[in-house]
């Protein structure tokens, strides 16, 4: 196969993305073409699929994906929002804070902020407008909130990142806890400013309303606490948490509340496993590409090129922020994990960036990329959801974007925020990449 033919084939691949070809087919095509051109055996892809299938933490992935799909069919989102509103809605900006926390928790369990926009859009935007906020503010908050949930257990994006980067999944969750809280504080800070400036009225605390909303979440609260804190503090393994989550939601939403009909379960299972199947194929092809790049010393070549331009850890982190935001504008999270992580991991290690801190920076940059024009996917999803122009959505997002960008810079260049909990819990040894 000539180099010219290989180049032509690779250049036509973006066309398949545009016409809607499955990403696993596109990634697989890239891998196959490169292996063919290099004279490598195509068995490498099959070997990586087998290696992936034998990974101990893999079982958690399909379970959490199914749980997320199942949960989106219930009224969990509405009840969760009411619960947090009853707790914090009595102080300035409390309703906004309730919206931020509720969407983050929902994203943690469904795994995608896009689903959160669809599920909560019809709840949060009318609620905020009713409280006295402008439509632009409400749409902006709804578009950007939920992103921090990608760092909370049991978001399966972190599980995927751990599998691809071969870092400890539980430690990734712990490293991301404080940075996620900082992002929440950054979002709330602007909400507080708007609420004070525009003198948005608050509702007095009502014990009756709180108890009613608490009863509406009575079965879910113990399950949420067990999964989130159980995973973080090692009371349960990732696999045990995944199994408990699925069984718990099937019992709560299917048997006790009866919000999801059992006749829907086969369809939900089919849709979630179709996503898993495509994801699994992408992972196999991506891991084969990773092995090929390692064999051919691609990361080392990239590093050698960068060393003349980027001479310090600080400069590398600055470059990484810009690069990952651009990636977030152009790629979904799962594709970015599979394609970008294997490339940046060895380079980041050379510059002395801790692998767990790298994971935190990776996710937060992508979330900001999703609301960055002109291609940020969350902007377009909100535009469709609320039937308004994209430019209006971005105007609403912009102040939150600035607050998150400031928070990102602090988190990126002060890695203690990511690593402090690991050190307190005696889990972290500097620069060790632990196998799962």
Distances (CA, A) of 397 to 71, 123, 365, 372, 405: 27, 18, 16, 9, 12
If you write DSSP's letter for every residue of 38-90 in order, what string do you get?
A: HT--THHHHHHHHHHHT-GGGGHHHHHHHHHHHHTTSSHHHHHHHHHHHHHTT
Please indicate, yes or no, whether residues 53 and 165 belong to a single structural domain of this protein: yes
Residue 436 domain flag: no
Judgement on whether residues 175 and 234 belong to the same structural domain of the protein: yes
Q: 164-220, pLDDT tens digit by residue?
A: 888 888 899 999 999 999 999 999 999 999 999 988 888 888 899 899 999 989 898
> 3-state SS of 302-315?
HHHHHHCCCCCHHH
431: in domain: no
- Is the same domain home to 15 and 46? no
Q: Could you give the CA distance from residue 250 to residue 260 in angstroms, rounded to a whole number?
A: 9
In this structure, are 31 and 152 located in the same domain?
no
Asked if residue 431 has pLDDT above 50, the reply is no
pLDDT tens for 8-55 read 555 555 566 556 666 556 666 666 666 666 666 666 666 666 666 666
Taking the whole predicted model, whether its pTM rises above 0.85 is answered as no
**Domain of residue 4, residue span:** 1-40
> Of all residues in the chain, what percent are helix, strand and coil, respectively (each to 5)?
80, 0, 20
In a domain, 90, yes or no: yes
As a whole number of angstroms, the distance between CA 328 and CA 150 comes to 14
18 and 164 in one domain? no
Residues 113 and 13 in one domain: no
DSSP string, 405-421: HHHHHHHHH-THHHHHH
Which residue in 176, 231, 220 sits closest to 60, CA to CA? 231
- Single out the residue of 190, 127, 140 nearest to residue 388, CA to CA: 140
- 15 and 85 share one domain: no
For residues 217 and 196, membership in a common domain is answered with: yes
Summarize pLDDT for 341-399 with one digit per residue, the tens. 888 888 888 888 999 999 999 999 988 988 887 777 788 888 888 888 888 888 999 99
Structural domain includes residue 126: yes
Residues 225 and 89 both lie in one domain: yes
Nearest-angstrom CA–CA distance, 297 and 416: 31
């Amino acid at each position: 196969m000539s180099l010219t033919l290989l180049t032509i084939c690779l250049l036509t691949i973006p066309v398949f993305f545009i016409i809607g070809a499955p990403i696993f087919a596109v990634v697989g095509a890239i891998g196959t073409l490169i292996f063919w051109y290099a004279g490598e055996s195509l068995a490498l892809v099959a070997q990586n699929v087998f290696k992936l299938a034998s990974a101990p933490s893999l079982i958690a992935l399909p379970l959490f994906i199914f749980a997320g799909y199942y949960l989106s069919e219930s009224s969990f989102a509405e009840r969760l929002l009411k619960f947090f509103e009853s707790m914090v809605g009595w102080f300035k900006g409390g309703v906004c804070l309730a919206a931020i926390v509720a969407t983050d928790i929902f994203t943690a369990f469904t795994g995608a902020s896009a689903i959160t926009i669809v599920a909560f859009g019809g709840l949060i935007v009318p609620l905020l407008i009713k409280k006295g906020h402008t439509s632009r503010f409400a749409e902006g908050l709804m578009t950007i909130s939920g992103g921090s949930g990608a760092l909370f257990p049991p978001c399966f994006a972190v599980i995927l990142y751990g599998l691809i980067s071969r870092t400890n999944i539980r430690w990734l969750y712990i490293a991301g806890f404080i940075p996620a809280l900082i992002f929440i504080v950054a979002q709330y800070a602007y909400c507080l400013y708007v609420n004070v400036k525009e003198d948005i009225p608050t509702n007095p605390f009502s014990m009756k309303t709180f108890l009613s909303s608490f009863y509406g979440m009575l079965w879910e609260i113990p399950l949420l606490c067990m999964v989130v804190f159980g995973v973080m503090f090692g009371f349960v393994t990732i696999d045990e948490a995944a199994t408990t989550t699925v069984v718990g939601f099937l019992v709560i939403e299917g048997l006790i509340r009866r919000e999801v009909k059992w006749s829907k379960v086969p369809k939900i299972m089919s849709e979630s496993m179709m996503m898993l199947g495509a994801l699994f194929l992408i992972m196999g092809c991506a891991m084969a590409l990773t092995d090929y790049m390692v064999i051919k010393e691609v990361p080392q070549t990239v590093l050698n090129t960068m060393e003349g331009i980027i001479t310090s850890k600080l400069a590398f982190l600055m470059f990484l922020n810009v690069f990952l935001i651009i990636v977030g504008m152009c790629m979904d999270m799962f594709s970015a994990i599979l394609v970008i992580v294997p490339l940046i991991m060895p380079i980041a290690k050379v510059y002395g960036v801790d692998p767990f801190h790298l994971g935190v920076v990776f996710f937060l940059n992508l979330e900001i990329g999703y609301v960055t024009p002109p291609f940020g996917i969350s902007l377009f999803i909100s535009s469709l959801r609320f039937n308004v122009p994209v430019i209006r959505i971005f105007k609403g997002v912009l102040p939150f974007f600035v607050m998150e960008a400031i928070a990102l810079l602090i988190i990126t260049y002060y890695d203690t925020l990511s690593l402090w909990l690991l050190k307190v819990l005696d889990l972290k040894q500097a620069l060790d990449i632990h196998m799962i």
